[in-house]
């Protein structure tokens, strides 16, 4: 899951980003509304955590544009305004959820995962193929009924591969979807993560290398 955090208070924005990354959620930052809109146009985000009172383009306008131009991107509006009228106006903008400050990181993570399970997403709530079952909400992976312990990054990479539904995913796409904008494009992190993930999943192998192109998840050869 990849999330954009839109928050003009630098310390809070970084705290939210770091907290999400600890939960295997790739997170990028935008400190104003225009930057947020530009990043959503450039990148494939699953959700936007949007502070209502961001500068340049106000959060209300950001929400209107996102829900119109990017209907598949879930929006959680975050604000200190907690009255019922505030919430009504927030939902009226087309946002999916509303969270008042201060909030616990655990609650934000649970809300993001709940949004990811709603119908209408590009990928199903639970991914199953080649004897592997991946539950993104519970963050559990089973192969042939046996639990497979994965690191946060291994889980994120496996989810991207399985969501491709047999298609080939390049190393660049894996970096974009399972890491975040800070990832070094010349890193060997993808190759190393794929190697360790194969070992965790065991034999026969279900992650196949397509020479010069990328990786594909599917039935053992």
* Same domain as 151, residue 51: no
Cα separation of 196 and 146, whole Å? 18
Give the pLDDT confidence score for residue 181 in this predicted structure: 61
* Host domain of residue 49: 2-116
Q: How many domains does the chain have?
A: 2
Q: Quick one: residue 143, left, alpha or beta (phi over 0 = left, psi -120 to 50 = alpha)?
A: beta
* Same domain as 134, residue 77: no
In the chain, % of residues over pLDDT 70: 88
pLDDT tens digit sequence for 33-42: 999 999 998 8
pLDDT tens digit sequence for 79-96: 877 666 767 776 777 888
pTM of the model: 0.60
In the chain, % of residues over pLDDT 90: 54
* Same domain as 134, residue 80: no
Of 199, 218, 196, nearest in space to 207 by CA: 218
In which residue ranges of the chain is pLDDT below 50? 121-123
Return the SS3 of 68: helix
| 177 falls within a domain | yes
Of 17, 15, 19, 22, nearest in space to 153 by CA: 22
């Amino acid at each position: 899951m990849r999330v954009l955090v839109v928050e003009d208070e630098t310390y809070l924005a970084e705290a939210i980003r770091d907290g999400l990354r600890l939960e295997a959620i790739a997170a990028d930052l935008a400190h104003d509304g225009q930057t947020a809109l530009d990043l959503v146009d450039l990148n494939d985000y699953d959700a936007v955590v949007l502070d209502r009172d961001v500068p340049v383009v106000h959060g209300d306008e950001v929400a209107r544009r996102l829900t119109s131009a990017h209907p598949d991107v879930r929006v959680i509006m975050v604000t200190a305004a907690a009255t019922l009228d505030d919430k009504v106006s927030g939902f009226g903008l087309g946002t999916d959820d509303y969270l008042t400050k201060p909030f616990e990181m655990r609650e934000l993570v649970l809300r993001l995962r709940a949004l990811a399970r709603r119908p209408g997403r590009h990928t199903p709530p639970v991914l199953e193929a080649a004897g592997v079952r991946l539950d993104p909400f519970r963050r559990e992976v089973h192969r042939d009924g046996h639990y497979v312990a994965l690191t946060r990054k291994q889980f994120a990479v496996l989810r991207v591969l399985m969501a491709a539904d047999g298609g080939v995913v390049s190393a660049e796409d894996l970096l974009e979807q399972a890491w975040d904008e800070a990832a070094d494009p010349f890193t060997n992190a993808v190759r190393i993560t794929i190697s360790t993930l194969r070992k965790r999943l065991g034999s026969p192998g279900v992650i196949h290398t397509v020479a010069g192109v990328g990786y594909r998840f599917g039935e053992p050869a």
